[in-house]
Structure 1
Amino acid sequence: MNIEKFIQRTETLHKRLTDLYETASVLPWISPDLLPQAFKELYNTSKVVQLAAEELHQQNEELIQTRNWLETERQYYQELFEFAPDAYLVTNTEGIIQEANFTAAKLLNVSKQFLVGKPMTNFVPLEERQHLRSELIQLSQSDRVKELLIGLQQRHGDLFDAALTVAVARNSQGKATSLRWIVRNISERKQRGLAVVKNDSDFFHDRPVHKYSKGETISLNPLVIFYVSQGLVKLNTYCETGEEVLIGLARAGMVFGSSLTSLSIYQATALSDVDLVSIYSAEIETSPTMSHILLPKINQRLQQTESFLAISGRRRVQERLQHLLQLLKQEVGETVPEGTRLSVRFTHEDFASACCTTRVTITRLIGKLQEEGIISFDLKKHMILKDFD
């Protein structure tokens, strides 16, 4: 029954009972003691029903508001999925397409309505279909996000090299229910990888750029290596006591990523506004030129990490601080008339974490170096270093 009609009928019933009760109560020839007890109970019950109807109406209004809110949220996320710049697919565990966004339909040269219900293998060359079927079986048995490199065939179109990122969705019982796919065309990147690259910017200029503001924590993906296009990133971990340990600084032209370390806790924080370019590990495997470009940068990061480790191994805290300042001078220093200016402002906590000591000790040592004229600060509180042994 429609709730509005139910409430109207309840109100009408209650009004009639009220009128009847009041009329019976004032009739001179009817004694109040003669009013049937059942009539009184019926009147009281009608009042309870009316209150219940009003409460039901209020709950129904709240349900309508909640439904409208949920529909708005559903529409919002549907639009995010539909108009995302990357191609997204949802399949069952056997690879039958259940959902596809606009970019996926365009990439495969098929209308969305014709994609649903089609197996992924329809877009894979015959010689690679068995490989994909084997991967599908393994995916359902794993919780790890996996990267696949495979050829895909457009409908009435070209064959292209694709990087597929696949994640498994499971129900509350842990059973695999669907697969979520990101599909990227990497043919142009592979071709570019065979060309001669004059500098890094030529190689990375057309890739998506991830921007982070100073102080923001950078989201890490085990399948991705970040190339720093601009800015400075602090890399740190935490020891058993919960204290932060500085293990590296990634400046412009350097790379970092959780796949480049075996540390269980690995955090990246923007020390300035930074621009990062993401590179999937699977792409590095397919591009000799990219491997050639990134290998020296990875080696550079490892060497820097060893330098930080060497600092923490020195016995005296004063020596640790002096060697840290020399390393920072080399990594982020810029020449000014007064000496070498650190382009980034480091806190005493940053120095303390790199030197494995307390902030109080660092504050005392920095004050001593400042008194000796070894260091100074400019108007923006950036440290300026003079030559010292």
Structure 2
Amino acid sequence: MNVEIFAQKVQSLHGRLAELYQDAIAIQPQPHSILPVAFKELGMASQTLEVAADRLCQQTEELAVAQLRLEAERQRYQDLFDFMPDAYLVSDLEGKIQEANRAAATLFKINQLFLANKLLVSFIPPEERPAFRTKLTQLRECDRVQEWTVSMQPRQGQPFDAALTVAPVYDDEGKVAALRWLVRNITERKRVQLALLGHDYDPSQDRSRHFYSKGEVISLEPQSLWLVCKGLVKLSTMSETGDEVLVGLAGPSMPFGSSLTSLPTYQATALSADVQLVCISLEEIAATPRLTQALLPKISDRVRQTESLLAIAGKRQVKDRLYYLLLWLKQEFGQKVAQGTRLSVRLTHQDLADACCTTRVTVTRLLSKLQQQGKIKLDSQHHIILNSTLCHQAA
């Protein structure tokens, strides 16, 4: 019976007993009649019952509120289950699926509703099913989380390598009653691992590229490195007088980043028209030996480059600093042409002045003198071409 209806009936009964009690008094009963007393006691009993009914109604309302809260909490956990990024399933001890989330339906290429009552072994290639059934039998007696890799076959599409994490579910008696499965597609991860083991590994392969135009400042993240895929990046700092000082030129396959320097001011600027970079986190580098092995020689090149620029900056005379800078650029970025060696990187007079720790006016004057002597010339794109005689004078 509905609690509210029950309370109404109790209230009606209490009112009726009150009326009967008044009637019993009105008819002036015989002496020693117990009728008024009986009605009075019944009235008191009904009043107590009415209070109990009110309390029952209050408790019913509180239970209804608690029920709504429990339903909201259940729905929240159901949503967490359904929208997990990885495939998650619950099965009985025979591997029959009882519940599956959306990611599982996507992974196995089957409608989520149709996954229920399907056997997990049906998603295993036929040649691997005996081994899977053996493992499933072992899980019934296992009391801890198990992990292993298998090949899985969706309803449509190609097989994929899967990492399985299986946890037991216990009943009230402490026995394993069901299994929880976390399934991850690791095909791409294994492919990357195989690529890392190869000798032709390219750290920039299969990574998103970031594009910069000439003059754009490149943001530096403390927990990652940039790797140049195309173009040239100027690395610079600031002197105490506020002048820009060139500390490096990062070309293709060369890494750079704020984590490779202790300079308080460090800036990276795109120096060529089309600069393409990929970002690699320090965490990934630390966790991937092959990646570390591939980047280490490039980082060493950056160190040697910085030492060379430091040695050039240490020359006393400005003309010597410029001569040796041009020779270094020839070695690093020179291209053989009919007239001599063309610098593939086009630096402005200010860039050269920053590298030589001098003024743009001084560099312009020295370059003009070298042009007059026929030791350098400019092509149609304003790239410097070095004559072999420059080497003899610098020596």
| CA deviation map 1:269-325 (0-9, x unaligned) | 111111111111111111111111110000000000000000110100000000000
Corresponding residue number in structure 2 for 1:295: 296
Q: Tell me, yes or no, if the aligned pair for 1:190 and 1:287 is still in contact at 8 Å.
A: no
Q: TM-score, normalising length from structure 2? A: 0.53
Deviation at 1:108, TM superposition (A): 6.3
- In structure 2, C-alpha distance between the alignment counterparts of 1:271 and 1:231, rounded to whole Å: 8
Deviation at 1:156, TM superposition (A): 3.8
| CA deviation map 1:103-154 (0-9, x unaligned) | x954566669xxxxxxxxxxxx979xxxxxxxxxxxxxxxxxxxxxxx9969
Given the superposition, is the C-alpha separation of residues 160 and 223 from structure 1 closer, same or farther in structure 2, using an over 3 Å criterion? farther
Corresponding residue number in structure 2 for 1:262: 262
Deviation at 1:189, TM superposition (A): 7.2
Corresponding residue number in structure 2 for 1:324: 325
Corresponding residue number in structure 2 for 1:135: none
- In structure 2, C-alpha distance between the alignment counterparts of 1:329 and 1:378, rounded to whole Å: 15
Corresponding residue number in structure 2 for 1:245: 245
Given the superposition, is the C-alpha separation of residues 337 and 224 from structure 1 closer, same or farther in structure 2, using an over 3 Å criterion? same
Aligned partner of 2:199 among 197, 201, 204: 197
| Secondary structure of residue in 1 paired with 2:217 | coil
Q: Give the AA of the match of 1:350.
A: D
- In structure 1, C-alpha distance between the alignment counterparts of 2:315 and 2:191, rounded to whole Å: 45
Q: Tell me, yes or no, if the aligned pair for 2:86 and 2:184 is still in contact at 8 Å.
A: no
Corresponding residue number in structure 1 for 2:183: 158
Q: Give the AA of the match of 1:225.
A: L
Query: Which 5+ residue runs of structure 2 have no aligned equivalent?
Result: 1-75, 89-100, 104-143, 147-162, 167-179
| Secondary structure of residue in 2 paired with 1:308 | helix
Corresponding residue number in structure 1 for 2:59: none
| CA deviation map 1:348-384 (0-9, x unaligned) | 1101100001111111101111111110001111111
- In structure 2, C-alpha distance between the alignment counterparts of 1:275 and 1:255, rounded to whole Å: 12
- In structure 2, C-alpha distance between the alignment counterparts of 1:266 and 1:111, rounded to whole Å: 47
Q: Tell me, yes or no, if the aligned pair for 1:248 and 1:308 is still in contact at 8 Å.
A: yes
Query: Which 5+ residue runs of structure 1 have no aligned equivalent?
Result: 1-95, 113-124, 128-150, 162-184
Q: Tell me, yes or no, if the aligned pair for 2:87 and 2:184 is still in contact at 8 Å.
A: no
**What does 1:25-44 correspond to in 2, within 5 Å?**
none
**What does 1:23-102 correspond to in 2, within 5 Å?**
none
Q: Tell me, yes or no, if the aligned pair for 2:210 and 2:276 is still in contact at 8 Å.
A: yes
Corresponding residue number in structure 2 for 1:286: 287
| CA deviation map 1:15-43 (0-9, x unaligned) | xxxxxxxxxxxxxxxxxxxxxxxxxxxxx
Given the superposition, is the C-alpha separation of residues 214 and 194 from structure 1 closer, same or farther in structure 2, using an over 3 Å criterion? closer
Is residue 382 of structure 1 aligned with residue 388 of structure 2? no
Given the superposition, is the C-alpha separation of residues 126 and 298 from structure 1 closer, same or farther in structure 2, using an over 3 Å criterion? farther
- In structure 1, C-alpha distance between the alignment counterparts of 2:195 and 2:258, rounded to whole Å: 24
Aligned residues: 231
Detail structure 1 runs of 4+ shifted over 4 Å in the superposition. 107-112, 151-155
Deviation at 1:327, TM superposition (A): 0.8
> What's the % identity of the aligned pairs?
50
Q: Give the AA of the match of 1:205.
A: Q
**What does 1:134-153 correspond to in 2, within 5 Å?**
none
- In structure 2, C-alpha distance between the alignment counterparts of 1:360 and 1:370, rounded to whole Å: 15
- In structure 1, C-alpha distance between the alignment counterparts of 2:375 and 2:218, rounded to whole Å: 34
Deviation at 1:228, TM superposition (A): 0.8
Deviation at 1:186, TM superposition (A): 8.7
Q: TM-score, normalising length from structure 1? A: 0.54
Deviation at 1:197, TM superposition (A): 3.0
| Secondary structure of residue in 1 paired with 2:226 | strand
- In structure 1, C-alpha distance between the alignment counterparts of 2:334 and 2:262, rounded to whole Å: 29
Given the superposition, is the C-alpha separation of residues 305 and 160 from structure 1 closer, same or farther in structure 2, using an over 3 Å criterion? farther
Corresponding residue number in structure 2 for 1:77: none
Q: Tell me, yes or no, if the aligned pair for 1:193 and 1:287 is still in contact at 8 Å.
A: no
| Secondary structure of residue in 2 paired with 1:247 | strand
Deviation at 1:256, TM superposition (A): 0.8
Deviation at 1:160, TM superposition (A): 8.0
Given the superposition, is the C-alpha separation of residues 288 and 345 from structure 1 closer, same or farther in structure 2, using an over 3 Å criterion? same
Q: Tell me, yes or no, if the aligned pair for 1:237 and 1:246 is still in contact at 8 Å.
A: yes
Q: Tell me, yes or no, if the aligned pair for 2:234 and 2:250 is still in contact at 8 Å.
A: yes
| Secondary structure of residue in 1 paired with 2:199 | coil
Question: Aligned-residue CA RMSD in angstroms?
Answer: 3.2
Corresponding residue number in structure 2 for 1:232: 232
| Secondary structure of residue in 2 paired with 1:293 | helix
- In structure 1, C-alpha distance between the alignment counterparts of 2:242 and 2:165, rounded to whole Å: 51
- In structure 1, C-alpha distance between the alignment counterparts of 2:286 and 2:191, rounded to whole Å: 12
- In structure 2, C-alpha distance between the alignment counterparts of 1:260 and 1:247, rounded to whole Å: 12
| Secondary structure of residue in 2 paired with 1:204 | coil
